[in-house]
Every structure is written in C-alpha cells, then in structure tokens.
C-alpha cells in the first residue's frame, strides 16, 4: 500500500503535470480539482478513523455546511472520549469569482481571478494534560489563468504541538518525526520550513 507522503507527492505531481499541459483560456476544470478534492476527503476520513480507533469509545459526528459565496465543507467532531476531550477534523472547498481585496494585497497578480481553495484542518485536545494539543492543516489553492496564462496554484500546510507540560524528549521526538515526514521531498525542505 502506498504511504501517505508518497500519495500526496504523487497527487501534487499529477495535478501539476495536468495543469501544465492545459492551454485553453479557462484552466480550472473539475477534472483537475477532483483528484485533489478526493485525496483530501479520503485524508479526512483516514484521520477520523484512526482517531476514533485510538479513542476506543467515542465516534465522530458529521456536520455539512455551505458557504453563501460558493462551496462548503464537512466538519467532524469527536467529543468526550476516553483519550480525547475533543477532536475536530474539517474539510472545506470554497470558490468564487474573485478574491477579496485583503487576500490580494500581498499578491496583486491574484486580483480579479476566479479561485478555488480546499483543505483539511484538525485540532486535537487530549484528556491527559501531559499529552500536547495538536494542530495540522493541508491546503490547496488555485486561481484561474488570465489571458491564456497558466493558473497560479500551490499546496501548503503545517503542523504544531502545544504542550501544557513540556518534556525535552517529546520535543526531540516531535522534531525527528517532522523531519522524517519531510525527508522524502529533499534535504532542503526541512531547512525551508524551519526558516519560514
């Protein structure tokens, strides 16, 4: 079975190669968005299944939502479990005709372009105060090309822990695990993420 890092990298390469070959004026057809969306929905389900199994008592409750301006998502929350006080794993896919001015202030080349953004985010609060709270997200953004120009797109994300009681061995383990997750993508990836 393909591991999650390899699957994410393959998905990014598939989308990049597909977008690079498109030459029509509008280069955001669903055939390019769907593989990313399907991957992110599968990731949400995988994370929820693993957390529910780890908890052993509580299950996730789903809440679908819609965004008036376009898109929507699915929030999943596990509460009052044996291991987790609360765990939220959310998927969103939003889109619109143009980005708000605040979103284009630092990236003026995005002004006036139709866009789509999607991602999975999670926040985990364990019952045990010696186990850190964790947060993570992965996201995909694409703005349509203008005048036959290619789209502007990227994947992003991050993860962190918030310990209530810090232990050096936990910090070392967390950083080693984070580095191991980045290693398949090249030596410079860890350095880049540490600097940003």
Give the residue numbers marked as catalytic: 135
Q: Which two tokens stand for residue 84?
A: 């987790």
Q: 11 near 33, Cβ under 8 Å?
A: no
Task: Please classify residue 176 by burial: count the beta carbons closer than 10 Å to its beta carbon, then call 0-12 exposed, 13-18 middle and 19+ buried.
Answer: exposed
The backbone torsions φ and ψ at residue 98, rounded to the nearest 5 degrees and listed phi first, read -150, 155
Selection from 106, 140, 102 nearest residue 120 by Cα: 140
Task: Please classify residue 181 by burial: count the beta carbons closer than 10 Å to its beta carbon, then call 0-12 exposed, 13-18 middle and 19+ buried.
Answer: middle
């Amino acid at each position: 079975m393909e591991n999650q890092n390899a699957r994410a990298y393959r998905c990014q390469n598939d989308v990049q190669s597909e977008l690079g070959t498109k030459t029509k004026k509008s280069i955001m057809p669903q055939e390019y968005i769907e593989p990313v969306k399907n991957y992110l929905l599968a990731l949400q389900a995988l994370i929820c299944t693993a957390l529910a199994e780890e908890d052993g008592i509580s299950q996730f409750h789903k809440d679908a939502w819609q965004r008036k301006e376009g898109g929507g998502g699915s929030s999943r929350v596990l509460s009052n479990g044996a291991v987790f006080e609360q765990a939220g794993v959310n998927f969103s896919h939003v889109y619109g005709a143009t980005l708000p001015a605040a979103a284009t202030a630092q990236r003026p080349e995005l002004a006036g372009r139709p866009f789509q953004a999607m991602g999975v985010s999670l926040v985990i609060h364990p019952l045990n105060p010696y186990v850190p709270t964790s947060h993570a997200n992965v996201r995909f953004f694409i703005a349509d090309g203008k005048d036959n120009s290619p789209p502007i797109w990227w994947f992003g994300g991050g993860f962190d822990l918030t310990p209530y009681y810090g232990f050096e061995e936990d910090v070392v383990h967390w950083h080693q695990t984070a580095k191991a997750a980045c290693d398949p993508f090249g030596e410079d990836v860890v350095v880049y993420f540490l600097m940003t």
